[in-house]
Structure 1
Amino acid sequence: MSLNHNPQMFANTYISMTRNMYVTSSIGLTVIIFSKNFNKYEKMLQILSSIILIYSIFYGYQASVFFNQYIDFLKKQKKLSEPYISQLQYWKQLTTFTYIYIIIVLIILFIIIFRKILK
């Protein structure tokens, strides 16, 4: 099949976006850990950390939704070349792992909100 774009480029973009999600959530968790060292600004840093984690969750979710739509688009193509046919299932698994990570970050976020911010 002749596509006017490269599916591997879309996969690389998705992997880059998930990497950004991991880094952003790591920054959010680091801010919450070090907020204890700043007594005067502890509550503000906890709120900032929560905002960073929420951003990370939405960023990863949006990346996964777009990539799933692209995978569905590729599955509908009549003559998709072989390297991409075998990759579709693997790419779908990547989005599943991203959703699992998002759930883990959501649990951490709820713990932060209910234990630290709303106390």
Structure 2
Amino acid sequence: MRQSPSIVPLDRLDRDVYLVLEDLGARAGCAWRETDEQDTDLETVLRHLLSGQYTYPVRIVAFNAIEGWSRDATSDVADAVAQRATDTDAEISSALHAFIEANATKRFDLQLTLPLRGAA
């Protein structure tokens, strides 16, 4: 019996996918964020972290279903987002700063933008 070819192009599946576990607060708990397929590459996840799309990231998992592997990518992503913030002088939230502090394997000197009392 002949096997039918897949209707899903293999190159679409043969890539690294990154998913973000986010803390949604005491009432909701943690959940894997729903996201579009095209927004699961590393570059997009880094951009979304820096732009505040993920408010309280907890864990980031990477996998490649075709190659048959998965791994915890939290430290790698924390290092990458910290480096990107440093290189671009990006302002980061206190929650993202806490994520970097808790998970980065390298030391980064990030400056948080803090509101000044009485400044208008």
TM-score (norm 2): 0.30
Using CA pairs below 8 Å that are at least 6 residues apart, which structure has the higher relative contact order? Answer: 1
Is the strand fraction higher in 1 or 2? Answer: 2
TM-score (norm 1): 0.30
Is the helix fraction higher in 1 or 2? Answer: 1
Q: Which structure's CA Rg is the greater one?
A: 1
